[in-house]
C-alpha cells in the first residue's frame, strides 16, 4: 500500500447487521406530537395510549445509542384525529438534507413501498411544509421512487391522535444497526432510477465537494486535485448538480472516489458499489458507513492521507489504488486467497531471519502475514511481501519459496497435508515458542486453521507475478504456461502427485 494513503481503523459491527426487514406494528390510539413552531423544542414524537413515547421510531445516533433530537417524556395529551376512515402508516422524518433523508425517512418507508395501497396516507415528521418538500427536485424523485404521492402526505402542525396506525420498525439507525432488507429495498428503488439516468460514463468518477467545509476534509486543494484527476481519465462531477437518478447510476456503474460525506450514502442503492472515500485524518469516520456497506456487497475503502500532499501525487495514488482494488478483487475471489490463522488461537505469523521461518510468536516489526491461495483442492502457502526469499517449515522436505499442500476442509476448520509424505501441518502452542511443524499423522479440531479475508491488497514484485500465475493456472489448468509466468513455482507444483490443478 502507498505511504500516502492508509486505511481507516474499522469498527466492530458484529451483532449490528440484522437479516431481512424489521417488524411493523399495528398500533391503536397513537398520539403524534409535532415540534412547536420554530422547531427548537425536543418534546415531539409518537406516543402510545398510555402516554409513553414509542422509542422504536425515535431518532438515535452514536454508539452506544443516545436520543438524537428528541427528549424522553410521557406528559402528552392530544386532540382527536380526523383521519380515522383511511389507513395511515408512519413514514419517518423528512429534513432538508440528502443523506439524512436516506437514513431517517427511507429507513422507515420500506413498509409503505412494499405493503401499502394508493389509498394509504403517510404520516411524516417534518419542519418543512408539503409545498417546500415538493419544491426540492431530489426529494420529489426519492418520494416518487418510493411510491409516495403528494396527496397522500400528512404533516400535522398540532398534536393528533390516530385511532389506528401502522408503525414500521426502522431498517437503519444512525451508527446503531442496519437490516439487510434496507439495502435490498433501496436496490429495488434504484432499478427505477437508473432507467431515467442520462449519465453514460463508465470508469472512475470523482465526487467534488468544492466548498470551505468539504475542502477542509482533503489533504490538498480540491480544485488542483480535480484537475490532476481529470488528466488521468477520471470524470469529475458535483453531486448537487446531478439528478438523483444520475447519482444512483454513478454508484451502480463506476468506481467512485471523493471526500467522505452524504454523497457516499448513495452507495446503499447499488448492488456492489466500489470506491475510495477520503477521510479526515484527525477524526474517525461515522459507524454508519460501515453498517451500510455490510448490508450488501460493498467494496468501498475508507482512507486518510498525509496532510499537505502534492495534488499530482495524491491523484496518482488514488487512481492506482482504485484500479488495483477492482483487479485484485477478482484474483482474491478466484484463488480464495486468505491469511492463515490458527482456529480459535489467534494469528499465524512468520519471522524473518537468514531464511523465513513460520512462527506463532507475537508479531514484531518487520514480520509478514502468511498467505494461502487455493487452486482446486490444492493450496500454496507463501509470504505476503513483494519479494519472496526462501523459507521453510520444520519437518518439511526442503527449503522453498512456495510450499504446496493438499487442502482438507470441514465445518470446524481447514487442514493442510503435505502431498508427498502425507503429514499434516499444525501450529504448536505459542508458549513453546517454536515454529509451525509439518509432522502430524492427524490433526485435532483445535489444531485446524481458518482463512481471514484479504482486504485492499497492494501486491507487487514477485508476489504479484506469483498470484497472476496461479490465477492463470486456475483458469486454464496449463502448468507449463503457469511456469512460464512464474518459474519459481516449479518446486511447489512438482510436489503434487498429479499436475492437474483443476
3-class SS letters over 395-434? CCCCCECCEEEEEEEECCEEEEECCCCCCEEECCCHHHCC
Instruction: For residue 73, name the pLDDT band (cuts at 50, 70, 90).
Output: confident
Q: Percent of the chain scored above 70 by pLDDT? A: 86
Instruction: For residue 17, name the pLDDT band (cuts at 50, 70, 90).
Output: very high
Collapse the DSSP code of 338 into the 3-class scheme (helix H, G, I; strand E, B; otherwise coil) and give the result: strand
66-67 vs 299-305, strand pairing mode: unpaired
Q: Region 413-433: what's the mean pLDDT?
A: 81
Fold for the domain defined by 338-494: Trefoil (Acidic Fibroblast Growth Factor, subunit A) (2.80.10)
Q: Among the ranges 84-88, 206-210, 276-280, 304-308, which has the highest mean pLDDT value? A: 276-280
CATH class of 5-12+182-332: alpha beta
pLDDT > 70? residue 89: yes
pLDDT at 278: 94
pLDDT at 401: 83
Rounded CA-CA distance 424/356 in Å is 20
pLDDT > 70? residue 454: yes
Q: Which helix (H) or strand (E) holds 236?
A: strand 235-237
Q: Which helix (H) or strand (E) holds 394?
A: none
Q: What angle do helix axes 180-194 and 106-115 make, rounded to 10 degrees? A: 70
- In tens, the pLDDT along 53-65 reads 899 999 999 999 9
Rounded CA-CA distance 219/228 in Å is 14
pLDDT > 60? residue 360: no
pLDDT at 94: 95
Rounded CA-CA distance 458/413 in Å is 27
Q: Which three cell numbers stand for residue 409?
A: 476442509
Q: Which three cell numbers stand for residue 72?
A: 424522553
Q: Compute CA distances 171 → 103, 155, 176, 179, whole Å.
A: 9, 22, 11, 5
Mean pLDDT, the chain, whole residue set: 86
Q: How many other CB atoms are found less than 10 A from the CB of residue 147?
A: 17
Rounded CA-CA distance 488/72 in Å is 67
Give a three-class secondary structure readout of 53-108. ECHHHCCEECCCCEECCCCCCCCCCCEECCCCCCCEEEEEEECCCHHHHHHHCHHH
Break the chain down into helix, strand, coil percent, rounded to 5. Answer: 30, 25, 40
CA dihedral 293, 296, 299, 305 (to 10 degrees): 0
Q: Counting beta carbons within 10 angstroms of the beta carbon of residue 442, is it exposed (0 to 12), middle (13 to 18) or buried (19 or more)? A: exposed
pLDDT at 359: 44
| Domain ranges within the chain, ordered by starting residue | 5-12+182-332, 22-170, 338-494
Rounded CA-CA distance 333/328 in Å is 9
Q: Which three cell numbers stand for residue 169?
A: 420498525
- In tens, the pLDDT along 101-156 reads 999 999 999 999 999 998 899 999 999 999 999 999 999 999 999 999 999 999 99
From start to end of 252-375, where are the E strands? 255-259, 274-279, 299-305, 338-342, 346-347, 349-352, 356-359, 368-375
pLDDT > 90? residue 342: no
pLDDT > 70? residue 357: no
Amino acid at each position: 500500500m502507498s505511504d500516502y494513503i492508509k486505511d481507516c481503523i474499522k469498527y466492530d459491527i458484529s451483532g449490528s447487521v440484522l437479516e431481512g426487514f424489521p417488524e411493523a406494528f399495528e398500533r391503536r390510539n397513537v398520539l403524534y406530537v409535532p415540534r412547536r413552531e420554530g422547531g427548537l423544542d425536543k418534546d415531539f414524537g409518537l406516543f402510545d395510549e398510555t402516554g409513553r413515547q414509542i422509542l422504536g421510531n425515535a431518532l438515535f445516533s452514536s454508539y452506544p445509542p443516545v436520543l438524537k433530537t428528541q427528549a424522553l417524556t410521557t406528559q402528552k395529551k392530544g386532540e382527536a384525529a380526523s383521519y380515522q376512515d383511511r389507513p395511515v402508516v408512519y413514514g419517518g422524518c423528512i429534513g432538508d438534507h440528502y443523506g439524512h433523508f436516506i437514513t431517517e425517512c427511507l429507513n422507515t418507508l420500506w413498509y409503505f413501498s412494499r405493503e401499502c395501497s394508493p389509498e394509504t396516507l403517510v404520516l411524516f415528521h417534518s419542519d418543512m411544509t408539503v409545498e417546500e418538500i415538493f419544491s426540492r427536485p431530489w426529494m420529489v424523485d426519492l418520494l416518487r421512487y418510493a411510491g409516495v404521492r403528494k396527496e397522500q402526505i400528512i404533516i400535522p402542525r398540532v398534536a393528533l391522535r390516530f385511532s389506528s396506525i401502522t408503525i414500521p420498525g426502522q431498517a437503519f439507525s444512525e451508527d446503531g444497526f442496519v437490516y439487510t432488507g434496507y439495502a435490498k429495498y433501496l436496490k429495488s428503488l434504484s432499478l427505477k432510477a437508473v432507467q431515467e439516468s442520462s449519465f453514460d460514463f463508465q470508469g472512475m468518477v470523482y465526487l467534488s465537494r468544492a466548498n470551505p467545509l468539504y475542502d477542509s476534509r482533503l489533504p490538498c486543494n480540491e480544485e488542483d486535485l480535480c484537475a490532476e484527476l481529470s488528466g488521468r481519465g477520471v470524470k469529475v462531477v458535483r453531486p448537487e448538480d446531478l439528478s438523483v437518478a444520475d447519482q444512483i447510476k454513478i454508484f451502480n456503474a463506476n468506481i467512485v472516489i471523493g471526500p467522505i460525506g452524504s454523497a457516499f450514502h448513495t452507495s446503499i442503492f447499488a448492488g456492489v458499489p466500489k470506491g475510495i472515500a477520503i477521510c479526515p485524518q484527525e477524526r474517525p469516520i461515522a459507524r454508519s458507513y460501515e453498517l451500510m456497506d455490510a448490508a450488501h456487497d460493498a467494496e468501498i475503502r475508507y482512507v486518510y492521507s498525509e496532510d499537505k500532499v502534492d495534488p499530482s501525487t495524491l491523484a496518482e495514488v488514488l487512481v492506482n489504488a482504485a484500479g488495483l482494488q477492482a483487479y485484485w478483487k477478482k484474483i482474491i475471489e478466484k484463488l480464495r486467497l486468505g491469511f492463515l490463522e490458527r482456529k480459535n488461537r489467534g494469528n499465524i505469523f512468520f519471522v524473518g531471519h537468514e531464511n523465513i521461518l513460520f512462527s506463532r510468536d507475537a508479531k514484531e516489526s518487520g514480520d509478514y502475514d502468511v498467505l494461502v491461495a487455493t487452486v482446486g483442492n490444492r493450496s500454496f502457502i507463501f509470504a505476503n511481501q513483494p519479494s519472496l526469499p526462501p523459507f521453510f517449515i520444520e519437518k518439511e522436505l526442503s527449503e522453498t519459496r512456495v510450499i504446496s499442500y493438499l487442502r482438507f476442509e470441514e465445518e470446524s476448520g481447514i487442514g493442510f497435508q503435505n502431498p508427498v509424505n502425507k503429514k499434516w501441518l499444525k501450529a504448536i502452542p505459542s508458549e513453546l515458542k517454536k515454529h509451525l511443524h509439518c509432522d502430524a499423522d492427524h490433526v485435532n479440531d483445535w489444531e485446524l486453521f481458518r482463512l481471514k479475508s484479504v482486504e485492499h491488497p497492494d501486491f507487487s514484485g514477485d508476489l504479484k507475478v506469483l498470484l497472476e500465475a496461479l490465477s492463470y493456472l486456475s483458469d486454464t489448468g496449463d502448468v507449463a504456461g503457469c511456469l512460464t509466468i512464474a518459474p519459481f513455482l516449479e518446486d511447489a507444483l512438482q510436489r503434487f502427485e498429479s499436475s492437474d490443478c483443476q
